[in-house]
Amino acid sequence: MSARLLLRAARLYDPALGLDRVADLLAEDGHVAAIGRGLPAGGAEVVEGGGLWALPGFIDLHVHLREPGETHKEDMTTGALAAARGGFTAVVAMANTRPPVDSPAAVADALARARQARALGGARVWPTAALTRGLMGETPTDAAALRAAGAVALSDDGRPVRSAAVLFAALKGARQAGLCVLDHAEDPDLCADGVAHDGPVGRSLGLPPRPAAAEAAQAARDVALAAAAGARLHLQHVSTAAAVEVVREARRRGLPVTAEATPHHLLLTEEAVAAFGAAARVNPPLREEGDRQAVWQGLVDGVIDAVATDHAPHAPEEKAAPFASAPPGISGLDSAVALLFAEVRAGRLPLAAFVDRFAYGPARVLGRPPERIAEGAPLALTLLDPEAPWEVDPDRFASRGRSTPFRGRRLTGRPAGILLPKEEGACP
């Protein structure tokens, strides 16, 4: 977009500000300059908002962009473009690249690639750094140096930390550096070589089990360690009723514990494994209906702070392998907003909660001010077309990752792009 942009006659909706009106929005120099009726274009690039909704910029707390090392699955640019197409103004990239992002130099490299992706029209990419060196779970990384280099949080996502002693030390380092720890809580010993939920479907298919207790036990341990270390802990991709209870209890005690849930854990059960095979293989695995309902209830009542995709692209030939040897992961950036908006339309999720879990909640987790639709605020908007019919067709995804158990779902309403300033630095 040019330095001046006029969004004309869109529904501007920012529930935290009590804003809900059809109006024009003029952006100048990366900021919202004016909101009102009949604003003059005056040479600005015009976006016709007719029928569109403009919402505070959505943030995805959990994506795998595979660069460096596995760019045949995704790279920073394809991932950032998929994020923008999917309605996200920013995504938080996990550190489990090859090599992992575990040094200030690697963070600087990720930020340089992110700037290039942004210049091509992608969403902002905010890198995390590894919590332990090489994601090996043995030696905590230098949290202060990683923060100084630009890491927005620390995470060993994909490789849960086995040792309580190592995690405790890493949590103390994170607290001193003022960084949140994004925690993949699944006990590695209980998971062992498990590939599917330990439930009726997984058992009937003879798949090595990954029990629900692996998540609840590790989540409870990690909350206890974070409380003792005084650290901020964010539980990633919560998938079980028991783990939702761990979060609920931590919050009741006033601990700085937050949590996210993915569209697949919110909307699917292990039945999808029978229906879609390896496209439904993911860690943590899809669970049973009681778990799904508990996670959904957590999202509705706010115990779950954020919807995050855990966008985990893999190459088509890798996902074509038999279930137990296909890599875990679902491509989520293109479809997440449309999938959850369908739940808003169905009356199962209030619109204000939808905006909170995609925009304000993720910002809270990161300790950032939320994006705002207000004069003077930095420009970061998610546009939504609430009436557009849309089918989840991975062949049309912007992401290189084409594997999703939502393939073929017909939805009404979808993201219609994002508005971010073009100038680098105007909207960090």
Q: Catalytic residues, which ones?
A: 310
264 in contact with ligand DOR (CB under 6 A):
no
Counting every residue written for the chain, the total comes to: 428
Give me the DSSP letters along 83-101: HHHTTEEEEEE-S-SSS-S
User: Of 311, 316, 308, which is closest to residue 333 (Cα–Cα)?
Assistant: 311
- Which of 162-170, 201-209, 325-333, 338-346 is the region at the interface with ligand DOR (rule: CB under 6 A)? 325-333
The encoded tokens of residue 364 equal: 């809270």
Q: Does 312 bind ligand DOR (CB under 6 A)?
A: yes
DSSP letters along 200-238, please? Answer: HHHHHTTPPEE-HHHHHHHHHHHHHHHHHHT--EEE-S-
Q: Which stretch binds ligand DOR (CB under 6 A): 100-108, 263-271, 323-331, 403-411?
A: 323-331
Read out DSSP for 261-272? Answer: E-HHHHH--THH
Q: Is 282 in the site for ligand DOR (CB under 6 A)?
A: yes
- Minimum CB distance to ligand DOR, residue 8 (Å): 41
Q: Is 240 in the site for ligand DOR (CB under 6 A)?
A: no
Residue 289 neighbours by CB distance under 10 Å: 11
Please choose, out of 286-294, 321-329, 345-353, 397-405, the segment that lies near ligand DOR by the rule CB under 6 A. Answer: 321-329
- When asked if residue 405 is in the footprint of ligand DOR (CB under 6 A), the reply is no
Shortest Cβ distance from residue 62 to ligand DOR (Å)?
9
Closest CB to ligand DOR among residues 64, 175: 64
**357 phi, psi to nearest 5 deg:** -75, -20
Q: Which of 283, 331, 382, 399 binds ligand DOR (CB under 6 A)?
A: 283
- Judged by beta carbon, residue 323 or residue 360, the one nearer ligand DOR is 323
Q: Write down the least CB distance from residue 63 to ligand DOR, Å.
A: 10
Return d(Cα 279, Cα 90) in angstroms, integer.
26
Total site size for ligand DOR, rule CB under 6 A:
12
Rounded to a whole number of angstroms, the minimum distance from the CB of residue 101 to ligand DOR is: 13
Q: Which residues contact 112 (CB under 8 A, 6 or more apart)?
A: none
Structure token pair of residue 396: 């049309």
Distance CA 69, CA 87 (A): 26
Nearest alpha-carbon partner for 69 in 135, 153, 146: 135
3-class DSSP state for residue 354?
helix
Is 184 or 357 the residue whose CB approaches ligand DOR more closely?
A: 184
Nearer to ligand DOR (CB atom), residue 197 or residue 372: 197
- Provide the minimum distance between the beta carbon of 393 and ligand DOR in the complex, in angstroms, as a whole number: 22
Q: Which residues contact 182 (CB under 8 A, 6 or more apart)?
A: 61, 62, 92, 94, 128, 153, 154, 155, 157, 234, 236
- Please identify which residue in 158, 263, 413, 415 interacts with ligand DOR, judged by CB under 6 A: 158
Give the CA distances from residue 389 to residues 304, 342, 344, 402, 412, in Å, rounded to whole numbers and listed in that order.
28, 11, 15, 20, 4
Q: What does DSSP assign to residue 358?
A: I
Residues 19-58 vs ligand DOR: string with x where CB under 6 A? ----------------------------------------
| 248 is an interface residue for ligand DOR by CB under 6 A | no
Site string for ligand DOR, 182-221 (x = CB under 6 A): --x-------------------------------------
Is the CB of 158 or the CB of 405 nearer to ligand DOR? 158
Q: Which of residues 166-185 bind ligand DOR (CB under 6 A)?
A: 184
- Quick one: which of 12, 53, 54, 64 contacts ligand DOR (CB under 6 A)? 64
How does strand 381-391 pair with strand 53-56? antiparallel
Binding footprint of ligand DOR on the chain (CB under 6 A): 64, 96, 157-158, 184, 282-283, 310, 312, 327-329
